[in-house]
Structure 1
Amino acid sequence: MKILGIDYGRAKVGLAIAEGDFAEPWKVIRVKSFEDAIEKVSSAFAEASADKQVDKVVVGISEGEMGEESKKFAETLHSSLFALPFEFFDETLTSQDAQKLSREAGMSRKKARGMEDAFAASIMLQNYLESGKRT
């Protein structure tokens, strides 16, 4: 089963792909608005589906306002574009974990900032896989 992980943000959306037991960062999409995020993630999804045959989408959510916006993003994406199962999974602290991971890997700040959201998406997706929730 191939799973697309999404870490939604107002400026950047991180994407990760999991095949089997391991999630890996895929790409970061810069966005200007909610609508722009829907459009660009839809395009990325079409690319991922053509190349990777995605079976499920997992969207990271957190507490508070951003979590509600992430849910709205996922629901809009799902209802208008995808006929795949969508799930939500807690993404609390994944951005901090991604920053730590990039420092430990010795990445330059510039490169790390460019990929942090994809790292965060992969951490969230890996946590999802390890939780045993996938089917």
Structure 2
Amino acid sequence: MDYSATISTTASPERAAQAITNYLEQWWSTRIERRTDGFTTRFNNSHATFHFEPGASPLSFEWKCTDAHMIIEDVEDAAEWVGTRLLWQITPTETGCKIQLTHEGLGPTLPCFEACQRGWQHFFETSLRDHLNSNTGAPNTT
């Protein structure tokens, strides 16, 4: 089973979509290199490059990892994320919205799963949620 989690926020669905796509520096990493068709995010000496997949809607979009060099202790294959996809789904609620992130291809059989799951718990489940609710995200700064 792939990593998947849902957060709730008082932010509007439109604000959530903007935060996810345009304000990565405020909740994921301050080291983002943007292109018109995607971006690269950097953490210390690690990086992951994502390509925006066609067919996105304002509240549902997909990013495919096309390059990765994730340095994780006890994980030999630094390119495990290549070919995985981030699937984002934003659903309006009466008080804001719910955001579901599924990292398709990031499952328990990958050696990096536990470390990557902890990363998503911090950056998605905590930092993005806190950024949307109070503008106090905790992105990686190194």
Give me the TM-score of the superposition, normalised by structure 1: 0.31
Query: When you count helix as a share of all residues, which structure comes out higher?
Result: 1
Structure number with greater Rg is 2
Query: When you count strand as a share of all residues, which structure comes out higher?
Result: 2
Give me the TM-score of the superposition, normalised by structure 2: 0.30
